[in-house]
Amino acid sequence: MNIIFKIARNEFRNLFYSPVAWFLMIVFLVQCSIVFTGLLYPIAHFQDIRIENDPNFRNWGDLNSFTRIFFTDPGALFTHILRNLYLFVPLLTMGLISREINNGTVKLLYSSPVTVRQIVFGKYLAVVLYNLMLLGIMVVFMIVAALVTNSIEYGILASAALGFFLLICAYSAIGLFMSSLSNYQIVSVISTFTIILILTYINGLWQKYDFIRDLTWFLSMLGRTDKMLVGLLTTKDVIYFLVVIFMFVSFTLIKLESGRSSRPWYKNAAAYITVAAIGLAIGYASSRPRFTGYWDTTSTGANTIHPRVQKIIKDLGKEEPLEVTLYVNLMDPGAPRAFPENRNAYLDYLWEKYVRFKPNITFKYKYYYDYEEAIMGPELYRRFPNKSVQQIAEKLADLYEIPLSDFMTPEEMKKELNLRPENLKCVMQLEYKGRKVFLRTFPDTEFWPNDMNVAAALKYLVRKEAPKVVFITGNLERSAFKSGEREYGGNTAEKGNRNSLINLGFTIDSVSLESNDIPKDAAMVVLADPKVELSPVVTTKIKDYINGGGNMFILGEPKKQGVLNPVLKSLGVALMPGNIVQLSKNEMPNMVIPYLTDAGNELSDDNLLHKVRRMREQKKNDPGLEFFGADTAAVLMPGVTGISYVSDSAFKIAPLTVTWDRTWLKMGPLVVDSVPPVFNPAEGDVKGGFPTSIQLTRQINGKEQRIIVCGDADFGSNLRSYQSYFSISAFSWLNENDYPVYTPVSPFTDNLLLIGGKVAATIKIIFVWVLPAILLLIGTVLLIRRKRK
């Protein structure tokens, strides 16, 4: 070891006796300085302006993280440097061995008592020491960021720094080997560039073939540091870099040993193959889920699935496997996202975070083609006129460059599984202990299901059932299955909407009470805007259901108060006569926007409501803080009436949404497409803030009964799906917040700079100009003194 350190020290000293090492260090520092200060100064300057003009400014909001903005986001320091790192290393390593060969000094080394192993390890250690100096430059910027930012994420910085160091050391090992192959340094540089580029982009080659796909995916460096940059360390990524270092340092040893002693070519080839086989075997074994370890270094667990989802996976148990079968229809527009060449991306993006907690998830893939115009629309028949389904499939297979023989025919697929109820879309079927459930993909930019969708499917496998939401029909109510703009189908039973109830764990049913009873297994019943008077039979069945302790969602509309009030009377509740009016510059007067009360903000753990509660807590701890508007959420209710209720009801009643005091209840006709209406007390108009939705609770039959009554039914319609957070939260509350499985995002706390623009400008001058100038001066003096000697 002593000789290795001596060689390393001598080689390290020689590095700085050449201008290349100084040049690379100065360029590296300047590049880091420009990127870091280019992000720091504008934010600091803008923060000065906000502090000066906004007395309510406290920070940049809990969705902003300066650790990520400065270091790990696209265009930030680490991502920028890692993207260009391959430009530095070949210039540094090009002369490590080739210089000795070219100068003839390698023969002196061979004839000395120093072993090849000591030479190689010593030279590589010298480069590692130089890499540590580059890492030290990065650490300086981390220290500055920690000093100028509140609550910096040290875990993310440490993880990203480790990723940077491992990557540059892997590049250096490649450069070391390439330097041993040629007498010419320029050849070493080009060879190093070539190998790094191959290892970077090899994951895009031959991805249609199973064995080659897994091999090239493992060999690829692209994305190996991505998880480290966001604070997630995995043993397979760390071992990958160690394997690359081991392989190329070993290749260097073999190359130099072959030059020191005369050995047959096949022995050298066998040595190379043995090293490669050992490296690949270690890498493959370490990438298996059972042998992969994870460490989320973030303070908020941002890279780990929510504890609620972890609990569901824990309930699945470790013994029984979970089988996931991906069914891919060639004729689905989203099919390319699920083709074999994207399989590793599918596993990595969607499933790895769950495999982390349940390694025995097995994956299967079924490919087929099928098309039905009534289900999928006429688009393909328009693109391929006068073609049969098979002929269209042949054209698509040729377009995607994939063999049609890999796909089952419609007839073969029907024998295995009928996916017409799933609209012939790409879909996953999860199977556990004989129970099966579909997990769908969606026609949006994300395509794959999110954590809430996956959690709902897994929870069904554990529970063996899903809460049933039953919609009453027969009185012109809103439909749970139709797609019209006043209907509810898009938010309840639409399989292509990731936020519909059916994709969040509920099952949807309907019943006509004229001829049927409410199902015994109904988790809740919905009576949504009946337009005709309810018959005594229907009214009696609803009242019996309520008296029996059933949960219910009742939604009405202005001008139809008389239809629902006979049902609501037994609850001590009534829809008020008239329409609520809210005048605004841009909207019609019936477009009312009530705000959520304390009870409304506690309905669920939806991200928006979660944020509102955090905001309220912040205001509680900082009484001087004021918010623009209200410190609450709001919901648009187009055409709504108020709700009155008695204080001595058997239920505990609390408003969920209330209008602002500037609204009024208009008793006369309301014209919305002409001049603004006028408040008219003579007609009975009443000003004030009116409850537009309320919750009712009571203890009955050993459980809490929950009911919601709303004076508007449009807010949850297909047309208003963009504000479905409130309707989904209402269903969640009615289901005792069991479904959906909300996974609220933890807020960032590193969201405030502790310096102003002037200090940031000074930091910019120091790092961009002063420090590089000092390094240049030191390097110049040392090189001149060295030349004189």
Q: What is the rounded average pLDDT of the residues 6-11?
A: 88
Task: Count Cβ neighbours within 10 Å for each residue of 226-238 and write b for 16 or more, e otherwise.
Answer: ebbbbbbbbebbb
pLDDT at 554: 97
- Reported as a single tens digit per residue, the pLDDT across 131-159 is 999 999 999 999 999 999 999 999 999 99
12-67 residue pLDDT tens: 888 888 888 899 999 999 999 999 999 999 999 999 999 999 888 888 988 899 99
Residue that wins the pLDDT comparison between 601 and 101 = 601
C-alpha–C-alpha distance, residues 308 and 455, integer Å: 9
Residue 427 backbone dihedrals phi, psi, to 5 degrees: -150, 150
How would residue 107 be classed by pLDDT, with cut points 50, 70 and 90? low
Query: What sign does the dihedral 670-676-681-682 (CA atoms) show?
Result: negative
| Average pLDDT of the chain to the nearest whole number | 91
| Residue 319 reports pLDDT greater than 90 | no
Q: How confident is the model at residue 585 (pLDDT cuts 50, 70, 90)?
A: confident
pLDDT at 672: 86
CA dihedral 724, 725, 730, 733 (to 10 degrees): 150
Q: Read off the pLDDT band of 789 (50, 70, 90).
A: low
Starting at the earlier edge strand, list the strands of the sheet with 579-581. Answer: 579-581, 664-666, 686-687
Least confident among 113-117, 174-178, 641-645, 746-750 = 113-117
At residue 467, the 3 state secondary structure works out as: coil
The angle at the Cα of 193, spanning 177 to 780, to the nearest 5 degrees, equals: 85
The amino acid that residue 607 corresponds to is: N
The pLDDT of residue 649: 84
Residue 457 contacts residue 437 (beta carbons within 8 Å): yes
Residue 66: its H or E element: helix 66-67
Give the position of tokens 């919305």: 672
pLDDT tens digits, 69-86: 999 999 999 999 998 888
Cβ within 8 Å of residue 264, ≥6 positions away? none
| Strand ranges of the sheet holding 435-440, from the earlier edge strand across to the other edge | 361-368, 322-329, 427-432, 435-440
Q: What CA–CA distance (Å, rounded) separates 227 from 746? A: 18
Q: Does pLDDT of 101 surpass 70?
A: no
What confidence score (pLDDT) does residue 221 get? 83
The H or E element that residue 226 is part of is helix 226-229
Q: Which amino acid is at 114?
A: V
Q: Is the pLDDT of residue 631 over 80?
A: no
**343, 365 Cβ separation under 8 angstroms:** yes
484-536: per-residue pLDDT in tens?
999 999 999 999 999 999 999 999 999 999 999 999 999 999 999 999 999 99
Output the DSSP codes for 304-327.
Answer: S--HHHHHHHHHH-SSS-EEEEEE
- CA gap 132, 55 in Å, rounded: 45
Tens digit of each residue's pLDDT (9 = 90 or more) over 345-364: 899 999 999 999 999 999 99
Inter-residue contact 340 to 442 (CB < 8 Å): no
Q: Are 180 and 252 in contact (CB under 8 A)?
A: yes
CA dist 322 and 159 (Å) reads: 31
**Both tokens of residue 544?**
């019996």
Q: In the predicted model, is pLDDT for residue 427 greater than 90?
A: yes
Q: CA nearest 452: which of 500, 405, 484, 491?
A: 500
Indicate the pTM of the whole model: 0.91
Does 623 have pLDDT greater than 80? no
Q: Of 425, 417, 334, 338, whose CA–CA distance to 376 is shortest? A: 425
The span from the CA of 186 to the CA of 184, in Å, is 6
pLDDT at 629: 47
pLDDT of residue 756: 94
Per-residue pLDDT, 3:
87
Q: How does residue 290 score in pLDDT terms, banded at 50, 70 and 90?
A: confident
> What phi and psi values does residue 117 have, to the nearest 5 degrees?
-60, -40
pLDDT at residue 293, as a whole number: 94
Q: Is the pLDDT of residue 630 over 60?
A: no
pLDDT at 100: 65
Task: Pick the closest to residue 370 from 439, 438, 425 (CA basis).
Answer: 425
Q: Is the pLDDT of residue 621 over 90?
A: no
Span 601-628, average pLDDT: 82
Closest CA to 468 of 523, 550, 528: 523
Domains and CATH numbers, the chain: 2-297+755-788 (no CATH), 307-463 (no CATH), 468-734 (3.40.50)
Q: How many CA atoms lie within 13 A of 338 on its CB side?
A: 29
Mean pLDDT of all residues in 188-200: 85
Mean pLDDT of 748-761: 94
Average pLDDT over residues 369-376: 94
What is the pLDDT, as a whole number, of residue 217? 74
Position 628 confidence tier, pLDDT thresholds 50, 70, 90:
very low
Q: How far is CA 674 from CA 287, 333, 580, 667, in A?
A: 68, 45, 17, 18
Angle value at C-alpha 46, between 43 and 48, nearest 5 degrees = 110
Question: Which segment of 190-199, 287-296, 710-719 scores lowest on mean pLDDT?
Answer: 190-199
